[in-house]
Amino acid sequence: DGDVFKYYADGEWKVSASKKSVGITNPSTLKTQYKVQACTQEEVNKAIESAHAAQKIWAKTPLWKRAEALHRFAGILKDQKNAIAESLVKEIAKPQKDSVTEVVRSGDLISYAAEEGIRIMAEGKFLLSDSFPGNGRNKYCLASKIPLGVVLCIPPFNYPVNLAVSKIAPALITGNAVILKPPTQGAVSALHMVHCAHMAGFPKGLLAAITGKGSEIGDLMTMHPGIDCISFTGGDTGISISKKAGMIPLQMELGGKDCCIVLEDADLELAANNVIKGGYSYSGQRCTAIKVICVMESVAEELVKKIVEKMTKLKVGMPEDNCDITPVVSESSANFIQGLVEDAKTKGAKFHQEWKRENNLIYPLLIDNVTPDMRIAWEEPFGPVIPVIRIKTVEEGIHFCNANNFALQGCVFSKDINKAILVSNAMETGTIQINSAPARGPDHFPFQGLRDSGIGTQGVTNSIHMMTKVKSTVINLP
C-alpha cells in the first residue's frame, strides 16, 4: 500500500506481512495524517537477528570509520531539516521553528557523539597486580570497553527525532546495533531520520526501525533475549518495562514534576521569563518543563503579576504559524489536563485566565493558590497549565519537591548563590538549575532522574559509557 510508510530492517524499506497499519492523528486537525506499518512479531525477531549479525561486523569496523559514518549521518540529517520539521509539525504539532531546531540539535548531537566516542573508546587501562596484597608484579591487566550488542531505543512523542538520536548515536559509535521503536505520534519523522542514516551507509541490518502497536510487539521487544540494553524515554510504560526486562542495562527517563522555587531575593523578571520559556514552550510537553512554582509569599503577588502579563503575549494557535501554544498531542492528553484543571477549580484554586479548550488546543493557564489536596500540585499535566503554591518558608518548597514521586530536575531563583546552593543541595532531584529553567541540554551534560523519574544517566558522554562494558585480558608472567 503506497499510502503506508514502510518500516526499515536489513538495510531495506519493507511492507509488513501483517498488511495492517497504524494511523497517526494530526493533533491540530484530528484527521489521520499518516499511516505506518503494523509490524509482526516475526518481523521483530528477524530484525533483531539481523542486528546481531551486523553488530559483529560493526564492532570490528575501525573506530574512525564508525565516526566517519556518523558524521555523514549528521550532515544528511541537517540537510533534511525542513522536510523533517514538516512532519514534526503535522505529527506532534511542534511549532515549525522548534521542529527545525530539534533536527539541527540532533545533527549536532550525532557529531558530538562521534567525537566523544572516538576518544572514550580509545582509552583503556593497564593495571599491575602488585598493588593488591598477596600479589607479585606478575600479572598485567589490559582493560578496554566493548559494546553491549543490540540496543533497543524507545523515544517518546515529544522529541521523536532528538530523543531517538540521543540513544542511537552513542549506541552506534560504541559498536552496538540498534533496534528503534519510534513513538506512533512522531513515527514518520523518526523514519525520515532513519532514512538519513540509510543514506549515510551503515552495514545492512545494523539499524532497524520497527513500527507498530506497543500492545502487539512491545513486550516481545522489551523482553526479547536478543536485546542487550534498553534506552527508553516516556511515561509509566517505562516502569513496567523495567519490571519485565531481563538482566540488561536499562536507561529510563519517565517524566518529571520539576519544581521552581523562588526565594524572596530572586530576580523576579528573570524568574518570570524562565517560567514562560521553561513552562509553556511546546505547550508544557517536555519532561523538563517547570510543572510547579513554589514562591515565597512576600514576592508571590509580584511574580504572578509578571508571569500573567507575559502570558498575554503567548501566541495560541497552530504549529504551522509558529504559535507558542499549539494543540497538545492527543485528545486523551487534553482530557487528562482538563481533569486536573477541573479538580483544582472545584477545590478552590484561583485562575488567572479563563479555561479555554478547542479540541486539543488548550489555552495557557496559571493556577494560583494551589494547595496539597489538589491533584495538580502533584501530577504532571504535560500541557500549558502551571500551578503556583505560595510558601511561607523555603523548607515548604523543598518539601514539595522532595515529596513528589517524580524527581527529574528543578530550579531555584535567588541572587544569593550561597543560599541557592543550599536549596539545591536540599532538593532531591536529578539536576537543579540555579537561576534558569530546567533543561536537558547542552546535550553532553548528565541527564538523570531520581525515584520514579528513571534510572541511569543520559547525556552523550554518560550514554557512551552506559552502552559499553569492560573487557579485560590478563597477561600472566611466569
Q: Please identify every residue annotated as catalytic.
A: 253, 287
Task: Point out which residues pair with 180 in neighbouring strands.
Answer: 153, 209
SS (H, E, C) the chain: CCCEECEEECCEEECCCCCCEEEEECCCCCCEEEEEECCCHHHHHHHHHHHHHHHHHHHHCCHHHHHHHHHHHHHHHHHCHHHHHHHHHHHHCCCHHHHHHHHHHHHHHHHHHHHHHHHHCCCCEEEEHHHCCCCCCCEEEEEEEEECCEEEEECCCCCCCHHHHHHHHHHHHCCCEEEECCCCCCHHHHHHHHHHHHHHCCCCCCEEECCCCHHHHHHHHHCCCCCCEEEEECCCHHHHHHHHCCCCCEEEECCCCEEEEECCCCCHHHHHHHHHHHHHHHHHCCCCCEEEEEEEHHHHHHHHHHHHHHHCCCCECCHHHCCCECCCCCHHHHHHHHHHHHHHHHCCCEECCCCCEECCEECCEEEECCCCCCHHHCCCCCCCEEEEEEECCHHHHHHHHHHCCEECEEEEECCCHHHHHHHHHHCCCCEEEECCCCCCCCCCCCEECEECCEECEECHHHHHHHCEEEEEEEEECC
Out of 440, 464, 466, 468, point to the residue binding ligand G3P (CB under 6 A).
440
Q: What is the closest distance, in whole angstroms, from the C-beta atom of residue 338 to ligand G3P in the complex?
A: 22
Residue number, 246 or 441, with CB nearest to ligand G3P: 441
Pattern 210-239, binding to ligand G3P, x per CB under 6 A?
A: -----------------------x------
Contact letters for ligand G3P, residues 348-367 (x by CB under 6 A):
--------------------
Q: How far is the CB of 161 from ligand G3P (least distance, A)?
A: 12
Query: Least Å distance between CB 68 and ligand G3P?
Result: 27
Please tell me whether residue 326 binds ligand G3P under the rule CB under 6 A: no
Among 441, 442, 470, 471, binds ligand G3P (CB under 6 A): 441
Rounded to the nearest whole angstrom, what is the least distance from the CB of residue 441 to ligand G3P in the complex?
5
**Residue 108 binds ligand G3P, judged by CB under 6 A:** no
Query: Could you tell me how many residues of this chain bind ligand G3P (CB under 6 A)?
Result: 10
CA-to-CA separations, 33 to 1, 88, 187, in angstroms, rounded = 15, 11, 11
CB nearer to ligand G3P: pick between 81 and 440: 440
By CB under 6 A, is residue 286 in contact with ligand G3P? yes
Examine residue 189 and tell whether it contacts ligand G3P (CB under 6 A). Answer: no
Site string for ligand G3P, 128-167 (x = CB under 6 A): ------------------------------xx--------
Q: Which is nearer to ligand G3P, 253 or 368 (CB)?
A: 253
Task: Give CA–CA dist 306/273, Å, rounded.
Answer: 9
Our CB check for ligand G3P shows the closer of 16 and 404 to be: 404
Residue 253 near ligand G3P by CB under 6 A: yes
State in angstroms the smallest separation of the CB of 159 from ligand G3P. 6
Instruction: Name which of 206 and 287 has its Cβ closer to ligand G3P.
Output: 287
Cell 498575554 -> residue:
312
The reply on whether position 257 binds ligand G3P by CB under 6 A is no
Answer yes or no whether residue 275 interacts with ligand G3P by CB under 6 A: no
Kindly identify the residues of this chain, within the stretch 33-52, that bind ligand G3P according to CB under 6 A: none
Minimum distance from CB of 287 to ligand G3P (Å)?
3
Among the listed residues 288, 429, 433, 453, the single contact to ligand G3P using CB under 6 A? 288
Report, in Å, the least distance between residue 164 CB and ligand G3P: 12
Nearer to ligand G3P, 26 or 162 (CB): 162
8 A C-beta contact, residue 268 and residue 300 = no
Q: Which stretch binds ligand G3P (CB under 6 A): 58-66, 87-95, 280-288, 339-347?
A: 280-288
**What does the binding site for ligand G3P look like in residue numbers (CB under 6 A)?**
158-159, 233, 253, 286-288, 439-441
